A and B are shown apart, each in its own frame.
Chain A
Amino acid sequence: MPRITAPYALAGFIGLALSGLAGAADIHTKTIAATCMTCHGPGGKSQGAIPSIAGLNKDYFVKQMKDFKSGARPGTIMKRHAAGYTDAEYEALGAYFASLK
């Protein structure tokens, strides 16, 4: 595999900050979002008790992730997930899911 260079990694992080639309989301964000959908359903639309997350307001999404992480919002599984991601990833994922109808 080609060696990953520092400028590339940096570009990835800038991509996180700039991406606003699902179609334009960088590959890092798209891949994480796709893993969220394993539980929350394809396109963020869930069947059954797990909530849908498609179309959530971005600021609301980011605040929920922070509150799950801190424990301010009680939950079951989400504290364990929220703790695994960075604030920049919360922002990028929030923008991504907000863009899904």
Chain B
Amino acid sequence: MTLNRRDFLKISGAGAAAAALGGCATTAGGARPHVVVVGAGFGGATCAKYLRQWGPNIDVTLIEPNDKFISCPISNWVIGGLKKMDDITHGYDNLPRHGIKMVKDSVVAIDTQKRTVTTRGGSTIGYDRLVIAPGIELMTDTIKGYKDAEAAGKVVHAWKAGAQTALLRKQLEAMPDGGTYLLAIPGTPYRCPPGPYERISLVANYLSKAKPKSKIIVLDSNADIVSKKPLFMDAWTTKYAGMIDYRPSNAVTAVDGAKMTVSTDFDDIKADVLNVVPRQRAGDLCALAGVRDKNANWCTVNFATFESAHVPNVHVIGDSVQSGLPKSGHMATNQAKVCAAAIVEILAGRQPDPIPVIANTCYSATSDSTSGYVANVYRYDPAKKEYVNQPEGGATAKGDELNFTYNESWAKNIWANVLG
């Protein structure tokens, strides 16, 4: 039997003894444990920061291919013309100050036996614990014609903030008054449950002022509005009456970029701006590590530690996790904190918190001056092996100015949490 660090800790139960585990192939000298975090979004960057804060004896390497962090939360505000791309784009400059080693590269291979990751640039990096936070993969191949239309710039999802966010804004600005904006919503689970409905609200806010003869067609794969229904229905009926044609249980099966149409099981629909959001699954990095569930789209984890149910020493956080928890940036940062705390305890030979508690808070704007929220506290139940939604959680029924100011403040504070 080969004794790995984890088994050793189980037997010895002593961090000091673990420090004497010389010759461990995965750490330089074996004295300091090494955690590799892949993906510097809300989950990954937060996890790296808190690992260093709570485990100053731990070496942390954070691998991320992008130069900048572009926030999905508030990206609908860019699409609606309330903010600019610069407002949601932030640098990673502060992270090395926490002692995090940043590596600008992509991971192309993961060997969970040898406990190494290999990057496109050719580096092989060993780990004691690996944290994977890749976010979502958009399943564009589930919609006929999508890839070609996307490559031609005729359809966008803008469901990962970036170039498509800016492109969608440009397309809305170029659309004539009297034009049609079409948003297609994937079936659950998808990233940011209220996101599509906030986007509709902020596009409606823009069009009602700039191009009031325009229409919005919403094709929702789901049977009803998935999140904050009273909040959005109130805004749509009082602020944007007659502009939004909402069609539930309408899934897009094909896109034709040349004709600017989408197809459902019922009909073909033409629009001037096509915003089709495909179904989603855990990032492909999860498949590379063998932590994505077989014949399924997400990753099952132990919720007290976020360690994979399939592969030891590999943790998964954020949107890629299989759970009843909402796939939000806020939830990803809080999962990251529970995961970081658990890894610090495990590497020190202690037992992690058996009953972690995490909260979700999510604001959505309904216009350029009003927002509402949903908030829930989830407490881990070791007997049920799931997070239990605590009483009184829920959403506001109506947007208002006060919550709009909190919405803006929330964004500044979460960005400071992740990147500051």
Binding site for B on A (CB under 8 A): 1-2, 4, 8-9, 12, 27-28, 30-32, 34-42, 46-50, 69, 76-77, 79-81, 83-85, 89
* A1 & B392 in contact (Cβ 8 Å cutoff): no
* B409 & A30 in contact (Cβ 8 Å cutoff): no
In the bound complex, how far is the Cα of B341 from the Cα of A30, in angstroms?
9
| A–B Cβ pairs within 8 angstroms, 21 of them | A2-B10, A4-B351, A12-B353, A30-B341, A31-B357, A35-B358, A37-B413, A39-B413, A41-B412, A41-B413, A41-B416, A49-B405, A50-B406, A76-B373, A77-B361, A80-B392, A81-B375, A83-B392, A84-B359, A84-B376, A84-B393
* B405 & A48 in contact (Cβ 8 Å cutoff): yes
Taking the nearest CB of chain A, how far is it from the CB of B293, in angstroms? 18
Chain A residues within 8 Å of B393, by CB: 80, 83-84
Chain A interface secondary structure, helix, strand, loop or mixed? helix
* B413 & A47 in contact (Cβ 8 Å cutoff): yes
Taking the nearest CB of chain A, how far is it from the CB of B161, in angstroms? 19
In the bound complex, how far is the Cα of B355 from the Cα of A89, in angstroms?
12
Taking the nearest CB of chain A, how far is it from the CB of B136, in angstroms? 20
In the bound complex, how far is the Cα of B337 from the Cα of A27, in angstroms?
11
The 10 closest A-B pairs by CB, nearest first: A84-B377, A48-B409, A83-B392, A84-B390, A4-B354, A49-B405, A47-B412, A50-B409, A80-B375, A41-B413
Taking the nearest CB of chain B, how far is it from the CB of A85, in angstroms? 7
* A2 & B417 in contact (Cβ 8 Å cutoff): no
Taking the nearest CB of chain A, how far is it from the CB of B251, in angstroms? 33
In the bound complex, how far is the Cα of B415 from the Cα of A41, in angstroms?
9
- Is B276 an interface residue, CB under 8 A from the partner? no
* A38 & B353 in contact (Cβ 8 Å cutoff): no
* B409 & A46 in contact (Cβ 8 Å cutoff): yes
Taking the nearest CB of chain A, how far is it from the CB of B97, in angstroms? 13
Q: A1-B302, A76-B373, A80-B377 are in contact. Are A27 and B352 (CB under 8 A)?
A: yes
In the bound complex, how far is the Cα of B351 from the Cα of A76, in angstroms?
37
* A83 & B377 in contact (Cβ 8 Å cutoff): yes
In the bound complex, how far is the Cα of B307 from the Cα of A3, in angstroms?
14
- Is B69 an interface residue, CB under 8 A from the partner? no
In the bound complex, how far is the Cα of B413 from the Cα of A1, in angstroms?
33
In the bound complex, how far is the Cα of B337 from the Cα of A37, in angstroms?
11
Q: A35-B359, A46-B409, A47-B409 are in contact. Are A9 and B354 (CB under 8 A)?
A: yes
Taking the nearest CB of chain A, how far is it from the CB of B304, in angstroms? 7
Chain B residues within 8 Å of A35, by CB: 334, 337, 357-359
